[in-house]
Amino acid sequence: MKTQVAIIGAGPAGLLLSQLLHLQGIRSVVLERQTRAYVLSRIRAGVLESTSVDVLRAAGLAGRMDRDGHPHDGMRIAWAGRDSFYVDAGRLLGRPFMTYGQTQIQEDLFAAADARGQAVLHGAADLTLHDIDGASPRVDFTLDGQRRRLDCDYIAGCDGFHGPSRKAMPAGVLREYEKVYPFGWLGIMARVRPLEDVTYAYHPRGFALASRRSDQLGRFYIQVPLSDRVEDWPDERFWPEFKARFPAELAAQIEEGPSIEKSIAPLRSFVAEPMSHGRLFLAGDAAHIVPPTGAKGLNLAVSDVHYLSRALAAHYRDGRDELLRGYSDTALRRVWSSVRTSWYLTNLLHSYPASTEFDRRAQEHELTYLQSSPRAQAALAEQYAGLPLEG
């Protein structure tokens, strides 16, 4: 097999990249280890920055999002069970954001791939990348019990944190930066009416978040110790604990219902530099992980593939390679900005096991300052709603 761009991974980064390349007349083949059903079953983020919304619209993928998504002007922050305030990104910046589940985005991407006849090979196992430093890169893989080969001009590694692409970087090329947080998030999905605003809560008992997937489907999280298991948190325990972390007037608005999905995820910040080497380019979770506090993971995948598709289009259309050479630096500027925002919100809103009384008092006064300062709110809103893409 031969194509122009081999894309490893059929998650949002990989399928969106294939759509953007298709619109530029660039051929690609997508290799995915898992089944389509497995890819669609992954429950992930649901907050889209205004820039991500713009990219999806420009790619012709926004029909259902514009119909079923829920625009938000800002986010609400509650603290210590006593008070809450609203950070109005729409008023401060004129750039609202949108809640629309990643599962729905994945469905839209598969539907678009089917409609254009995109080659997506599921069950592609034991992938190995070859000659990424040379002029003839290729990907070898096993499919239906047979060893196969895909020759290409470029390889896009969109295969997540545990995929083979980043591991194919030569020794000494890659620098990795990581912070592991001493807690996890227990998340549930329930068919209940969510709160009107995306609401973050800081409480000495731990962090909580109320988000939405639709008008009748909510996504709810609480901070838990890393030692906890899903089995430790039946619904009968989750809901009282969740509501206890909100002020009384917000807790009274929270509807309870049976969970239809429940999982615990550890939190980490991770960045790999550079995001390219030779003819291999990393995008999405293959290159970086952010805590979900800042709702940046999916949005960074969108900006990565926007920059990469633009660079590949300049190469094939105009014979210009400066954007390919600058891809890593361009993408990493946005990555580190989002990493900082997620790190800031994680520190601001979580209870750390080793925190001292000084730490807790300083944390509460940081929230007091944020509540009282329009300039501080504007700075946070600018990062949360999404910085403009670089031209």
Cα–Cα distance measured from residue 139 to residue 156, given in angstroms and rounded to the nearest whole number: 11
Amino acid at residue number 11: G
Other C-beta atoms within 10 Å of 388: how many?
A: 11
The token pair that represents 87 in the structure block: 């950070």
**Active-site residue list:** 72, 200, 292, 296, 384
To the nearest 5 percent, what fractions of the chain are helix, strand and coil?
40, 30, 30
DSSP code for 195: P
Cα–Cα distance measured from residue 382 to residue 92, given in angstroms and rounded to the nearest whole number: 8
Other C-beta atoms within 10 Å of 266: how many?
A: 12
Helix 297-318 with 322-349: angle, nearest 10 deg: 170
* Phi, psi for 239 (deg, rounded to 5): -60, -45
160-185 b/e (C-beta count within 10 Å ≥ 16 → b): beebbbbebbeeeebeeeeeebebbb
Cα–Cα distance measured from residue 49 to residue 341, given in angstroms and rounded to the nearest whole number: 13
